[in-house]
Structure formats: C-alpha cells, structure tokens
Amino acid sequence: MHMSCRVIQHREADIYTVLHFGADPSGQKDSSKAFEEALDKSPYKVIVPPGRYLIENTVEVNRKHLFLEAGVTIENNDRIQMNSPLFWIHGIHSIIEGENKSVKIKSNSISATSVIKIGHDDARDVRRNILYCEVKNLTIEGSGRGTKLSGIHFYNSQEKGDEMTTSYFHSIHNLIIQRVNIGIHMERFSNGNSISNIIFNRVGAPESGCAIWFDGATENRVYDFFHHHSANALSVKFTRNKDKTPSYNILQAGICEQGGDDARCVEMEAGAHNIIDINCNVLKGNMLPKDFQKRKNIILTKPRN
C-alpha cells in the first residue's frame, strides 16, 4: 500500500516577523512599537530575525509566541531609565523562545525591577487567569548595576478564594541568567511553576540579592540549576509575603558554588513543607530557623564545609 505525505508550505505573507512592522535590526532606533504591532496583528507566532533591537517601552506578550532566532539581542537604552520590564507576559499560552542561548534579552536600566515579568501587574490587577506561559532557550541579562533588578519576576494577585485572577503553571527552561541582583523572584501566590536547567552567573549582591527567591510562593518545582561566579551571594531565600508563606516547594539537583567566604546556600525566614535537595559547596552553608523541621521542612543534603 502506497502512503503519501502532504507537505504544507507557508507563503511568505503568512510568516510574521517584526521587520514587516518596521523593527530596526541595527539597534539605531526604538523598535518597541514594531514589536507591539507584530504581536497584536499576528495570528500567533512572531519571528525576530538576527540583529540588535532597541526597546524603550515594555512589550506585552498576550496569547502569542515570540520566537527569537540565533544572533538576536534585545535591550533598552541605558540613557532611558525604564522602571518597567522589557517584556511582560500576561496571556494564557504565551511564549518567549530563543533558538539557542546566544539570544539575549538585556536590561541596561539601573531603576528597573525585572527584565521579564510573568503574571499580573500588581495587587490591583483583576484580569482573568494567566496560565501555561513559557520562557526558554535564551540569556537574560542585567547591567550589573541595579539593586532591584530580577531576571524573571512572577506575580500572582490572587487573593484567598479568588479564582478569577490566578497565574499558575508557567515553565521556565534552559536559561542563562546573569548580572542581576535576583535571578528568579516568585512573589505572592505564585503557584505551580516548573523551573529547570538554569545557570545563574554573577547573580546576587552580597547584602541583598539571591539566585531564587520564594517570596510567599507555593508548590513550585526548581531543578537542575547552577549558581556560580557570584562571590558572597545567597543562592535561595524563603520569606513570607504578607499572609502568604512559602510552602510545598521542591528544589532538586542544584549546585551552590558561588565563591567567597560569606556565600550561603539557603536562608529561610519563613516556610513550611518545603523539600530541599541541593549540593551546597560554600563556606557558610545554610541559615535555617530552629523550627525548620517542626514546620515539616526537609533538607536532604548538607553543606560541604
């Protein structure tokens, strides 16, 4: 029996790139509007061809797939102090994907709070569910100067009993995050996220930053990460965020090897039912509360002092 395969070819007019909407791959002029129009008018997927693109306003990704080809760098102008992220993902099934980790999204602003934000804007945001978003296969970078800057910031404005403003089940995979003060910040009721294969490089100032911050977050899975070249920094922090206590989070197959006499692995101010199974190759080890085990937290590996 003869079987034939049908090959579907896309016409050039069917393929949306940011160049069709006036983006400048030389980085000489602001391409924010071109990115916004491409994402607004495309059926779903938008391609960013190789080049350097200047972004001076936050680009919103809402129910779209932004694909960055190898050789793409997207950054803001260090003369314009953006307080907002370069990209804000706030629509179900939205994706920012690089072809490989040569792709770079960089914030040069010292006043910005994040490079990429996923979820709601703030506690007043009442938009509906934001689910199943992805960021993968690229490098996220800061200027190394900002004290507030996080690589990825999750925010969930859901209040107890409110099922209309959830932000759940996002996937973060295969990234380099570097030269930021906080690598990944999961704030408020950030829930059910899967984070894997992350290299944190020069992340976390000695007195204030960290690679991963569970800031009230619950039921997240973080595995296969490596924190290095970040002298005297903290790797993982657990804190209460108002009425939200970090709980039921799992960390596995992580390596804390940031260097420096004052480097720490895990610092827990609040938390319950968390499981931590990572290699701690730093001098000061973990800073755990006396009631760590009483609150049903489990740590499976000990520091290598």
Q: Which of 90, 64, 242, 239 is nearest to 154 (CA)?
A: 90
pLDDT digits (tens, 9 = 90+) for 61-94: 999 999 999 999 999 987 766 788 999 999 999 9
Phi, psi angle pair for 14, to nearest 5°? -85, -15
Q: Which of 87, 95, 139 is nearest to 116 (CA)?
A: 87
Q: 13 versus 111: which is more confidently predicted? A: 111
Q: What pLDDT is attached to residue 289?
A: 93
Answer yes or no: is pLDDT of 16 > 70. yes
Six token digits for residue 177: 């995050």
End-to-end CA distance of the chain: 67
Q: What pLDDT is attached to residue 125?
A: 86
pLDDT > 70 in the chain, percent? 91
Residue 278's DSSP bridge partners are: 254
Answer yes or no: is pLDDT of 1 > 50. no
The H-or-E segment that residue 35 falls in is helix 32-41
Q: What pLDDT is attached to residue 9?
A: 41
pLDDT digits (tens, 9 = 90+) for 158-191: 876 676 789 999 999 999 999 999 999 999 989 9
Q: What pLDDT is attached to residue 305?
A: 55
What would the mean pLDDT of 278-295 be, rounded to a whole number?
A: 93
Q: What pLDDT is attached to residue 4?
A: 44
pTM: 0.93
Up-side HSE of residue 301: CA atoms within 13 Å toward CB?
19
> How far, in Å, are 1, 4, 85, 210 from residue 111 at the CA level?
66, 58, 10, 18
Residue with tokens 């629509």: 91
Residue 130's DSSP bridge partners are: 167
pLDDT digits (tens, 9 = 90+) for 241-264: 998 999 999 999 999 999 999 999
> How far, in Å, are 16, 214, 234 from residue 135 at the CA level?
20, 19, 24
Which contacts (CB < 8 Å, 24+ apart) does range 9-17 have? 15/47, 16/41, 16/42, 16/43, 16/45, 16/46, 16/47, 17/46, 17/47, 17/48, 17/49
- C-alpha–C-alpha distance, residues 116 and 190, integer Å: 15
Phi, psi angle pair for 39, to nearest 5°? -70, -30
Phi, psi angle pair for 15, to nearest 5°? -100, 115
Amino acid of residue 95 = I
Q: 9 versus 161: which is more confidently predicted? A: 161
Six token digits for residue 32: 């924010």
Q: Which of 207, 218, 224, 217 is nearest to 264 (CA)?
A: 207
Answer yes or no: is pLDDT of 152 > 60. yes
Q: How many residues does the chain have?
A: 305
Q: 204 versus 208: which is more confidently predicted? A: 204
Amino acid of residue 233 = A
Could you count the other beta carbons within 10 Å of the beta carbon of residue 135?
A: 28
Categorize the per-residue pLDDT at 238 as very low, low, confident or very high, splitting at 50, 70 and 90.
Answer: very high
Contact between residue 115 and residue 142 where contact means Cβ atoms under 8 Å apart: yes
Residue 257's DSSP bridge partners are: 228
Answer yes or no: is pLDDT of 123 > 90. no
Q: What pLDDT is attached to residue 302?
A: 64
Amino acid of residue 258 = Q
Q: Which of 89, 184, 166, 183 is nearest to 134 (CA)?
A: 89
Average of per-residue pLDDT values in the chain: 91
